[in-house]
Copies of this chain bind each other. A is one copy, B any other.
């Protein structure tokens, strides 16, 4: 059995810890819209969150980056007056970025670089970047400096989303192609799962790469999504601030509405909501309510099994 998961960073990584427990070949298609180049280093936060977490090397407290991390390089960069001092870069993490940047400069696509890095971390699943092309999520914001587009990382890390925001744009997405293996994995899937990642800035960039949404719609595999909203609030992150840019309500049903039921040309054949949202309803979409807190990989596995069951798949 083959399962494809669309995933963002930290929440996606935690979700994949559960998916990995299934008796199935799991392929994660991971958002790269958060990728940013700083100090000449190509940084892929979501790919790294997934890779480090599944490799047992992520910091469990902080949620991102490496366990046992140190910060010497970053503090020296700041002493030189280098750019973006608000973006913390750990020493161990920088080694990953050096290897990635060097391979990219040598002409390897991001998918090949990711596979090479994963040879060390042995994540137990296949991790595919959504695209090998450059796509960057930018936030269109307005403040004292006027209306302008800033990189998603600046919006997220520097401003913590506390800046008037019109919308997010996925720069480069229109010209991007699905990453190596992405369309093939979707076509071969027995089930497709949308992780409870941020629908606006983690899942939407993946779907914005031309060919990805079409491949999902064309696939014979049923698609089940897991709500990132529990009882009107995001489980983590700033999905509420992101949803506001779409004038979308912060609710499990509203997020399902963004993806849409397959019967109406959307993606979803089923939608999992938390018990607290048991009354959520979307016309034409089977919904199952159960606890959605990913407290352990075992519990997360149970969540996914229930989701798969909702769309008729038994791994």
Contact = CB atoms under 8 A, between A and B. Distances in A.
Contacts of A41: 98
A82 B98 CA distance: 10
Interface stretch (A73-81, A141-149, A199-207): A73-81
Interface in A78-137: 79-82, 91-92, 94-96, 98-99, 101-102, 105, 117, 120
A32 B92 CA distance: 29
Contact of A98 (B72, B77, B95, B99): B77
Contacts of A296: none
Given A91-B91, A117-B80, A105 B73 contact: no
B101 A73 contact: no
A40 interface: yes
Contacts of A74: 95
Taken together, the copies of this chain in the complex come to 2
Interface in A31-55: 39-41
A70 B98 contact: no
B102 A73 contact: no
Interface residues of A, number: 25
Contacts of A81: 120
Contact of A95 (B76, B95, B102, B120): B76
Interface string A137-165: 00000000000000000000000000000
B92 A72 contact: yes
Contacts of A79: 95, 120
A88 B82 CA distance: 24
A40 B105 contact: yes
Contacts of A39: 98-99, 102
Contact of A80 (B40, B73, B120): B120
Contact of A101 (B40, B76, B117): B40
A43 to B, nearest CB: 13
Contacts of A117: 80
A80 B94 contact: no
Nearest to A104: B40
Contact of A72 (B76, B91, B101, B102): B91
Given A39-B102, A80-B99, A102-B40, A91 B70 contact: yes
- Of the candidates A98, A105, A117, the one having the most CB atoms from chain B within 10 angstroms of its own CB is A98
A70 B73 CA distance: 9
- Of the candidates A72, A94, A120, the one having the most CB atoms from chain B within 10 angstroms of its own CB is A72
Q: Which 4 A-B pairs have the closest CB atoms?
A: A76-B95, A72-B91, A40-B102, A39-B98
